[in-house]
Amino acid sequence: MNRIFGLAIAAVVFFLIDLYVWQAVKLLIRSSSVLTQRVVGYGYWGLTIVSIIAFLGVFTYMPAAPPVKASFRTFLMAGVLIIYISKIFSVLILFIDDIIRFFRWIASFFQSTPAPTQTPVTDNLQPVSTGISRSEFLAKTALGLGGLHVGAMAYGILSGAHDYHLRRVTLNLKNLPKQFDGMTIAQLSDIHSGSFFNKTAVKGGIEMLMKEKPDVFFFTGDLVNNIAPEVKDYIEIFSKIKAPLGTFSTLGNHDYGDYTEWASAEKKRQNLADLMGAHKTMGWDLLMDEHRELKVDGEKIGILGIQNWGAGGFSKHGDMEKAVANTQEYPVKLLLSHDPSHWRAQVLPKYKDIDVAFAGHTHGMQYGVELGNFKWSPVQLRYKEWAGLYEEGDQKLYVNRGFGYIGYPGRLGIYPEITIFMLKAV
C-alpha cells in the first residue's frame, strides 16, 4: 500500500511539472497556426502520458526477468529520468519569472496608478516592436536549457557509462609492517551487472584493472541490482580478476533481493545463496562479518568484511562485532564495508583500530562535476562522505564512485572508477 501511495504521489508531481512547463510551451506557440498548436499540444501531452505510464510500469513490474527485458526496463526508466530531470531545470528558470510576477503583484498594492505611457510608433502609425518580453525570453531560456540537458544526459549514456577512470591513491599508515610497504590494492564497487548493455566495454574495464597487476583485490558490494541471475553472463569476465595475495568481496544493499518481490521467503534465501555462489565461482572470497589474515614474510595485517550496514533507512545486515572478533594481533586492519555512512555511524566512534575502510554505494549519483580538487554532486545532500578519500585522526575512508550504474544507464561528470591503492609505511 505504501508503495502504491508513493507511486501515485510521484505521478502527480510529474504531472504538475509537465503542467508548469506547458505554460512556457504555450507562450512560445501562441502566434503559430492552429494546426501547429494542436500538433505540439498532442505531442507534448502524449509524451507526458507515455512517460507516466512507463514510470508506473517500471516500478510495479520489477520481479525477476530475462536480461533483455531487464535492459528494456533500464532504458525505459532512463528515458523517464532524462525527460523529468531536464524539465526540472526548465522549471527552475520559469520559477524566476513567477517570483518576479509575485513581488510585482505585492508591490502593486502600495503604488498609485501609473500614468499611461506612450508607445513608440513609426511613420505609418504602427506600433514598434521593442523585442521579446521577459516572460518569452525566460520561456525560451528554460526550454533551451532543458533541451541541452537532454543532450548531455544522452551523451552520458553513449560515452560516460563505460568511460572507466583509473584513480591512484596512496594510503600512509603508521603501523604498517615494512613487508607490506608498497603493496597495491585494486578496488571495484557497485558493478550492478543487471544494468549493463555493453559487454565489450565491461571486459575492457576489467582488462584495464588487470594491467595494473594488483597484489590484492577488493570488491565492496552491489554485484547485481535485484537478482542473482543478472551476473550470469558476466561471471567469465569477472573471473579474470586475480591477485596473488587474495581477492576479497562483501555484499551491498542491492545484493539481498530486498528491492523486488518474492513468491516466498525461501526463494529469496535461495537467491542470496546463488549470489554467494557466484562470488565463489569467480574466485572471490566473500567476507560475511568475518576477517582474513594477510601474511608476508612472517608479518600480518587483517582484512575485515562486513555485510551491508547503512545509516538511516538502509538495511543493517552486518555485525561489526563478529567482523572484528580475534583481530587484536593485527597492527593494521582494512575494512570492506559497502555503505560509507557506516564509517561515521559505527567505525569512528567504536572501532578506533580500523585503519582504512573501503566503501562504495553512492556512485557519486552518476551525476555531478569534478574539476581538480573541486567536486559536487546532489548526492552530497545525503552523504557527507560520497567520493574519494576522507580522513579523521588516524582513520581513513575511501568511497569508490562505482564501476556500473543503476536507474540512469550513464555517467555525467562522475565517471566509473577503478581504484589502485598503494600502502606506505610512515
Residue spans of the domains in the chain: they are 2-107+133-158, 165-425
Q: Pick from 394, 380, 386: which is nearest to 417 by CA?
A: 386
pLDDT for 61: 63
Q: For residue 95, what pLDDT band results from cuts at 50, 70 and 90? A: confident
Give me the mean pLDDT over the 59-79 stretch.
65
Decide which of 23 and 368 is more confident.
Answer: 368
Residue 116: per-residue pLDDT: 56
Task: Provide CB contacts within 8 A for 12, sequence distance 6+.
Answer: none
pLDDT at 319 exceeding the cut of 50: yes
Closest CA to 256 of 289, 223, 281: 223
Superfamily of domain 165-425: Metallo-dependent phosphatases (3.60.21.10)
Does 145 score more than 90 pLDDT? no
- Taking 70 as the threshold, does the pLDDT of residue 361 lie above it? yes
State CA 28 to chain mean position distance: 35
Check if the beta carbon of residue 195 is closer than 8 Å to that of residue 231: no
Asked whether residue 125 carries a pLDDT value surpassing 50, the answer given is: no
Closest CA to 58 of 74, 44, 37: 74
Percent of the chain scored above 90 by pLDDT?
69
Portion of the chain with pLDDT greater than 70, in percent: 92
Tell me phi and psi for residue 17, to 5 degrees: -60, -45
pLDDT tops 50 at residue 63: no
pLDDT, averaged across the chain: 90
Handedness of CA 419, 343, 282, 190 (dihedral sign): negative
**Looking at the predicted structure, is the pLDDT value of residue 230 above 60?**
yes
Q: Is the pLDDT of residue 64 over 80?
A: no
Confidence of residue 68 (pLDDT cuts 50, 70, 90): very low
Look at residue 295 and tell me whether its pLDDT is greater than 80: yes
421: pLDDT strictly greater than 70:
yes
Q: What is the pTM of this model?
A: 0.84
Pairwise pLDDT comparison (314 vs 189), residue with the higher score: 189
Taken in order 270, 275, 278, 284, the sign of the CA dihedral is negative
pLDDT surpassing 50 at residue 203: yes
Tell me what pLDDT residue 70 has: 62
Read off φ and ψ for residue 22, nearest 5 degrees.
-60, -30
For the segment 326-341, what is each residue's pLDDT rounded down to a tens digit? 999 999 999 999 999 9
Report residue 199: phi and psi, to 5°.
Answer: -65, -35
